[in-house]
Amino acid sequence: MRDVAVIGIGLTNFGEMWDTSFRELCVEAGVKAIEDAGLDGEQIDEMFVGNMSGGRFVLQEHIGALIADYAGLATNHIPSTRTEAACASGGLAFRQAVTCVASGMQDVVIAAGVEKMTDVSGGETTDALAGAADREWEGIYGVTFPSLYAMMARDYIHKYGLTREQLAQVAVKNHFNGARNPIAQFRKEITLDVVKNSTLVADPLRLMDCSPVSDGASAVIVCPLERAHEFTDTPVKVLASTQATDTISLHDRRDISTIDATIAAGNRAFKMAGLERKDIDLVEVHDCFTIAEICAIEDLGFCKKGEAGKLTEEGYTALDGKLPVNTSGGLKACGHPVGATGIKQVCEIVQQLRGDAGKRQVNGAEIGMTQNVGGTGATVVTHIFGRT
């Protein structure tokens, strides 16, 4: 297998993008990544596009061909494939691109992620998202994503005594980071009281415990590490790329407040990279709800089960903490256009390792990690990156 490097990144703003179409969003991110890599579009050999539900949100399928066409690459007849694993669709697109280059099949590959969720009503969005769970055993009984994660939160609170303040601190921290990210949907800081007094969505989760409904796109270009300096002075090496699955329905799990696929993907990633937890300088985790960040920190092995709430409260995961978590603002404040999220996480780590993260820069960041979750943990994709 060949070593792989990220040579270009591109992001649109995240939020309610009523003036920009689905295809325009994706092409904007792709063009930015191509410019960032100093490439000519003609040099791209293959494309992967992460998208969860174009069919439900914008009535559009056949996304791989659509994006290749509107990027001006269809007349070159490059292979272009849509990847789908619910909210992990972007992480999966990136993993496909890495695998494609590592195998020697292609040299210059672009992975993009896109979702436009705000063109349909809130009810339709919630129902489309529920398709990431088991429709026959969960969705059909009215279960939604906020309610699934609320059950996980209830179980976690019962077992480990997590406090309302500790859970709320995840949102406060991520809004603090989002306020320093120019592409974030919510660029304003909030207090513990704002979280605690926000509208109840699914007990115990309140509005400010939830990621929002968002539009946005992201793109990343990879090539063999040995060619990276042809394009950029600051390539970022992919040290590990792993994926794991679990039961799709929550009730079939061994433990509903532990995401076993995160444990499996994380362990494989550390083994592949030959690194230990203490080597990681920062991590972007899938905080679709505040409880998900708490579980992710523990299931990736950064602390024992039941300890992440206390660590969050003590500032361990803050921007200036020992292990900054979600410096982008996470899904909570940066926004969560589901197909784009996994690649936005990669873009954030690349910006940090290049030293380009501005007001949210983690000093001396050399090794970063991403964790992207599909559904309640039926798919997890993790990556580790290193500064070269």
Q: Which residues are catalytic?
A: 87, 336
Q: Any contact of residue 387 with ligand COA (CB under 6 A)?
A: no
- Minimal distance in Å, beta carbon 144 to ligand COA? 7
Q: Any contact of residue 87 with ligand COA (CB under 6 A)?
A: yes
CB neighbours of 234 closer than 8 A, spacing ≥ 6? 354, 388
| H helix intervals, the chain | 22-37, 54-57, 63-70, 89-102, 122-130, 145-160, 164-178, 192-196, 260-273, 290-299, 308-313, 330-334, 338-354
Which range touches ligand COA (CB under 6 A), out of 200-208, 230-238, 243-251, 302-310?
200-208
Q: Any contact of residue 5 with ligand COA (CB under 6 A)?
A: no
Instruction: Report DSSP letters for 37-71, one per residue.
Output: HT--GGG--EEEEE-S-HHHHSS---HHHHHHHHT
Contact 95, 380 (CB under 8 A): no
11: its two tokens:
């992001």
Q: Any contact of residue 213 with ligand COA (CB under 6 A)?
A: yes
Closer Cβ to ligand COA, 159 or 188, answer by number: 188
- Minimal distance in Å, beta carbon 117 to ligand COA? 8
Residue 226 DSSP one-character state: G
Q: Any contact of residue 200 with ligand COA (CB under 6 A)?
A: no
Which residues 325-344 are close enough to bind ligand COA by CB under 6 A?
336
Q: Any contact of residue 201 with ligand COA (CB under 6 A)?
A: yes
Closer Cβ to ligand COA, 46 or 284, answer by number: 284
Closer Cβ to ligand COA, 128 or 275, answer by number: 128
Contact 148, 250 (CB under 8 A): yes
> Length of the chain, please?
388
- Minimal distance in Å, beta carbon 81 to ligand COA? 23
Rg of the chain on CA atoms, in Å = 19
Angle between helices 290-299 and 164-178 (to 10 degrees): 90
Which range touches ligand COA (CB under 6 A), out of 30-38, 151-159, 203-211, 357-365?
203-211
Which of 43, 81, 126, 361 is close enough to bind ligand COA by CB under 6 A?
A: 126
β-sheet bridge partners, residue 369: 283, 384
Which range touches ligand COA (CB under 6 A), out of 96-104, 206-214, 231-239, 256-264?
206-214
Q: Any contact of residue 263 with ligand COA (CB under 6 A)?
A: no
Nearest to 46 by CA among 83, 88, 85, 13: 83
Q: Any contact of residue 20 with ligand COA (CB under 6 A)?
A: no
Q: Any contact of residue 129 with ligand COA (CB under 6 A)?
A: yes
Per-residue binding letters, 136-155, with ligand COA (x by CB under 6 A): ---------xx---------
Q: What are phi and psi of 85, to 5 degrees?
A: -150, 55
- Minimal distance in Å, beta carbon 127 to ligand COA? 11
Residue ranges that bind ligand COA, judged by CB under 6 A: 87, 122, 126, 129, 145-146, 186, 201, 207-208, 210-213, 288, 336
